[in-house]
Structure 1
Amino acid sequence: MAQPAVLEAELAPYFTTKAPFQFPINFREGFVKFWPIVTLVLLILAAPGILLFLGIGTALMPATFMGGASVGFGYTIAMILSIAGLVLSILALPGLFNRKRSGWVYSYYAQLISIVTSIFSFSILGILLGLLFLMLLFQVRDYYN
């Protein structure tokens, strides 16, 4: 196996052998087969929203500091993390289509960033869904060489 990603070795047992449940094999295989296509479609559908977010979000960034420095910095950090996650998702696509480990690693990092963004946004649902998706990623990790 290739060099483990940051925190991969530490998190793996909690999302695989010690996980509260295992996703069924058929579900995992379907996920590996269709996830690259779903990701590509979602990125294409999200493109106008992302461009709007970057334009309006950047224009409104100074106004977020009117709510206080912590609100402004929180918004700025969430925006930067969202952009980083988006870039990692785009970078993951070729590896996901070819079932390469690099695709899994980029998806893993994008998911970690998504969870951190949810923490900064105080989104409990985002954190829970992020952890659930991370568990799925770990349980399909062996499909990517």
Structure 2
Amino acid sequence: MPAKSRAHAPASVRPIAGLLALAMVLVGASGCTPQAQQFVDKIRAESTEKCNEGNQAACHTIVQALSDTKVAIESTAPLETQTPACNAGKQDACQQLAVLHGELSSWCSMGNGQACAAVNTGPWPAKWDEPALIDAAKLSCLSGQFKPDSSTCQALQMM
């Protein structure tokens, strides 16, 4: 499953991550498009509800059905810290953002309004060569610079 590992997530994210992991198991077991979409809709609704209650981690959660049995979940929270780091010249931050941007752009092309909003509003780095950074991120995953279970490496497996 392409669900992102969030072992390093703050405590406010962990309850959502647990719910999302449960949803991933249930979607994987169901195998039906309507049920998979029902889980996506449920996760989105719960994220929206938690966001409206003030949970900022939930406000950054984007869910995408990738197939009848695969659901991916991504957070846009790194934009707030990684974009300034990238603009300051930190290449690993630029690589991670390029992969995130590529992933969200793909989801946007599939009709995911939340992904489109994130792609269109950012904040994204001022200047970057996204294809070159994605290639560099692939090498970083292969060399172990990024852990294989990182959201960046997992997203690259789906791209």
TM-score, normalisation: structure 1: 0.41
Of structures 1 and 2, the larger Rg is shown by 1
Structure having the higher strand fraction is 2
Structure having the higher helix fraction is 1
